[in-house]
Structures are given as structure tokens and as C-alpha cells.
Structure 1
Amino acid sequence: MKASAKETLFVVARSPFIASGVAVSHEGEVFLGLPRFPGMEKTISLARVNKSGEPIPFPGGSWNTWQKGQDGSRAFVMVNAIHLFRDNTLWVVDQGAPVGSQPEPGAQKLVQLDVKTGRILRVLSFPHAVMPSGARFNDLRIHGDLIFVTDSGLGGVIIHNLSTGTTLRRLSGQKVMQNDGVHLHKGIGGRILADGNGKRPDIASDDIEVDAGGTWFYFAVPAGPLKRIGVADLLDMALTDDQLAQKVEIVAEIPSVGGTCMDTRGNFYLADAENSRITVLSPEGKRTTLVQDERLISPDALFIDRERTLYIPCPQLQKLAFLNNGRDEVHAPFLVLSIPLPRSVDGIPLGEGVEG
């Protein structure tokens, strides 16, 4: 089956602020990540969606009201990603500074919250050796006790062990983690993204997945290609970053994507920003379109809930001025859409969401 009609997509939320991340609790509550992009200075950063599809500040109080000049160590400053895993707690990736500025000490952090009460369970920030100047948290996955976070500033992956408290920085600044200058970040119709002066985005390791077995670590810059390396290799401290780089494999060429997710059968779901669609890429390399719709403008970080529903935020990022030749053409409301996953699509069996 191939879904292409608008009726296959349901509107989950309408946000007055750019919504680029979505996560759904085991009880079905929907949470949104709302980054502080230009024009979005008054964003509430993190929200729970009410029954009317409106975002409500979560957890509330000073966490949702940061303004320039304020301390960012106990408030959300630039929420780049959110995710929810097997233990039903919400993780937030905060870059700690809006686009074009540097994070103050403690502002760039990972925050874990109780989805029912909003209680802050953990705040993780790392020293300069782990997050040097120019490093930017991007996206996060968890497998067992290990947190994996991509660095889209310099390129690299941070691996933190929740049990031991140890933290590794791997593949730091390696070319395999950076854009190669050949794969260009594009939008609808193949338009090359750039600001009013022709400057193109230079985003290093961004999208990230860890398979259900915890065997492979997958990553990509937004323009591709999709790559992978063994988790065991990343954890092997006898291997240098140069040696690790030699072990990175190219999995597939992909279009420019805003986000990905993965299922328990090893399928990748690609948020195709060039064609306003969600593509399924099977472990055997077969591809098909799950859904295509003109509302999928810069589809971003994808999420599969326990009911096998795929959630798709549509933040319109390619219409922001710094990606749209200097013209700001984003417009509210910013939609979050969903589609129930079939058991198969065009002969590709589909699985459950990977919970970590």
C-alpha cells in the first residue's frame, strides 16, 4: 500500500511557534520541542499538547520563559530535539543559545523530565574537553544505559553512560562527521538552501539512530549520505578517532532530510525535505514513499509511538530567512501531523518504534 492522499495524515497539533520535535508518552500524551529561531524569541520552548491541539508550557514556570540576558542553566534556551524512550521519561536537547550566538556556561545541556509531573529528573552538561568551543548538541538516542548525542557544530558523537557517569567524545572533527561540500542541503524542488548573501548552512553530524539491538550507530548530515559504525567500535578506547573514521560505512545516498526514525525491523523513515514526503528505506536498500503531502514543509524529527503511529513535525525551516535567500516566509500555525503505520508498504514489512 502506498499512501499519498491528504486524508491519510491527521493534524495532531497547531502551534504558534516553530515545532521541530515531537515525542509521545506511553499514555499517549504529545510533547513538542519549540526552538528559538529568529522571529520565535517568545517561544515556550517545550510544550505538552492539550486536547484541542494547542501547546501548553511544560513543565511551566521559569523553564519556559527564558529571555536574552537571563541565566540559561535552569531554563530552556534553544531546544533542538526531544525524545522519549523505554522508561517513559522525556529527554530534551538544549543547545543553550539561539542561532548565531554562543552558549553561556551550563546553558547547553540535556534535561530529563517526568512526563506526568514535569519534575526535572536530571540535568547533564559537560566540560570543555567533551563539548569544546563551537560544539553543538543536536539529537539524542538512548540504548540501555548509554546516551548518544551528535555534535552538529564541529562533528562528533558524545556517549554518556548513565550508570557510571563516564563520558566519551568520539570521531571529533573527523571529515566523516562533516558535510563534504558535494552533498548540498536542499529544500523543495532541489533548491539549494542559503541566506541572502549566498552563505549555505554548514551542519555537521545531525540525524542519529541506534538500531534495536544496539549494534549499529547511524548518522548523517542533513544532505546525506547515511552512514554507520559499530557501537562496539565507538566504545573501544584502543581505537583512535582516525582509526574509527576508517570503520565508518556508507549505508545509502539520501535526499536532504530534516529528521529520521527507525523501527524494530531495521527500516529507516526519512523526512524528505526536497519532496515533501516520508520515505521508507529497508535494510535491503529498497525504498518507497509512505506518504507525500504539500503540508510536509521541512518535515523534521520523526517519532513512532507505542500504537505504531508515526508523528511528523512540519517546522517550515527552509522558509526561514537564513535558509531562504534572506526572505522569512514561515507562517503559523506550524503543524504536527500523524499517520498510522500499516503492517507493510510496497512489500516492506514495518515494525515497532525503537525504544532504546
Structure 2
Amino acid sequence: MKIRFILSVILWVSITLGACNLSPNTHRPNDLTIKKPLLEEVFADSTYQPTGVAIAADGRLFTNYPYWLDKHKYAVAEIRDGQPMAYPNVEWNSFKKGDNGLNKFVCVQSVVADDKGYLWIVDAAGIGLGEVYQKSNKVVKINLSTNSIERIYRFS
């Protein structure tokens, strides 16, 4: 009796799996298939370490580079024609150790574009993942229409 029950279960499982046609190499044209998105490389950087990417509603692309290594060029960049350009300007991207970091990007960790036309920049100001540099940590709100800083949120 027990063996008959076990054989019945095995038969049922075999029929069920066969009906489901779980073979990975079988293509059934009537099935809905998930289409893989086409990816297009628009920017690559193997010299520095970008950690954030933001795409504005108008398609503008931004990235950020934390100050983790001594080799450091930009904190925030807009990618134009495949090339990084200091954003919003060179002055905000000109920080060097020893500078006052209140009105410069020190160690940006993230960039986020919202649906209201702003780019938000999180500057943790911890060079090389260290302590906050001279109380320079901040969140910067930039108006993407004017490319100007609208507000700086500072933290004690």
C-alpha cells in the first residue's frame, strides 16, 4: 500500500512537471517573454571611482566621485558628449586638503535628480572614509534650469 502511494506521487509529479514543460531549452512561442533592455554605454571611467549616477528628466547625466584616493579630479560632473565636466562649476570642484570645504565639494557620496528639476548632492565630507572634514558635510540643492545652487543644508 505504501509503495503504491509513493509510486502514485512520483507519477503525479512527473505528469505535472511534464505538463509545465520546465525544460530550459524549450521555447514556446505563445508564451509572454521578458525582453532584455538594450544597454548603451554613454560613459565609462576606469581612472576614478564614481559612486553615484543621476539622470535628470531632460536626459542630462551626472555622476560623483568621492575623495577616497589622492588621485582625484572631480567631485561632481555632468557627462557631456561622453566627457565629464565639473558641475556646477570648477570652483565647487576645486577642493584640496587644507582648503575650507564649506563652499566646495569635499567628498561627495551621492547625486540624485528629482522630478522637480533639482539635483541633490550629498557631501559627507569624509575624505578617504575618514571623519567629517572641518564640519564641511552638507546637502546641496542645485536648480538644473539655471545650474545654480539654490540651497545648502549644513549639519553640525
TM-score by length of 2: 0.71
Aligned residue type for 1:120: I
- Note the aligned Cα RMSD (angstroms): 1.8
Query: Does structure 1 retain, via aligned residues, the 8 Å contact 2:117–2:145?
Result: no
Deviations 1:31-76 (A, max 9, x none): 1111112243x2211011112x111100113200101111111001
Partner of 2:49: 18
Partner of 1:9: 39
Partner of 2:73: 43
Partner of 1:65: 94
**Secondary structure of residue in 1 paired with 2:91:** helix
**Secondary structure of residue in 2 paired with 1:99:** helix
Query: Does structure 2 retain, via aligned residues, the 8 Å contact 1:35–1:43?
Result: no
**Secondary structure of residue in 1 paired with 2:41:** strand
Partner of 1:121: 150
Q: CA deviation at 1:106?
A: 3.5
**Secondary structure of residue in 2 paired with 1:111:** strand
Aligned residue type for 1:115: L
Q: How does 1:189-204 map to 2 (within 5 A)?
A: none
Gaps of 5+ in 1: 128-356
Does residue 1:111 correspond to 2:140, yes or no?
A: yes
Q: How does 1:202-221 map to 2 (within 5 A)?
A: none
Partner of 1:101: 130
Deviations 1:74-118 (A, max 9, x none): 001111011011211000000112124322344111001122332
Partner of 1:84: 113
Query: Does structure 2 retain, via aligned residues, the 8 Å contact 1:92–1:110?
Result: yes
Q: How far apart, in 2, do the equivalents of 1:106 and 1:78 lie?
A: 12
Q: How far apart, in 2, do the equivalents of 1:110 and 1:46 lie?
A: 13
Q: How far apart, in 2, do the equivalents of 1:81 and 1:122 lie?
A: 17
Richer in helix (by share):
2
Query: Does structure 1 retain, via aligned residues, the 8 Å contact 2:100–2:134?
Result: no
Deviations 1:155-208 (A, max 9, x none): xxxxxxxxxxxxxxxxxxxxxxxxxxxxxxxxxxxxxxxxxxxxxxxxxxxxxx
Gaps of 5+ in 2: 1-33
Q: How far apart, in 2, do the equivalents of 1:30 and 1:39 lie?
A: 25
Q: How far apart, in 2, do the equivalents of 1:2 and 1:39 lie?
A: 43
* Distance change (3 Å), C-alpha of 1:100 and 1:49: closer
Partner of 2:4: none
Aligned residue type for 2:83: E
Deviations 1:187-238 (A, max 9, x none): xxxxxxxxxxxxxxxxxxxxxxxxxxxxxxxxxxxxxxxxxxxxxxxxxxxx
Aligned residue type for 2:59: G
Partner of 2:30: none
Partner of 2:85: 56
Query: Does structure 2 retain, via aligned residues, the 8 Å contact 1:14–1:54?
Result: no
Q: CA deviation at 1:9?
A: 2.1
Point out which structure has higher relative CO (alpha carbons under 8 A, 6+ apart). 1
Richer in strand (by share):
1
Q: CA deviation at 1:2?
A: 5.5
Q: How far apart, in 2, do the equivalents of 1:82 and 1:100 lie?
A: 17
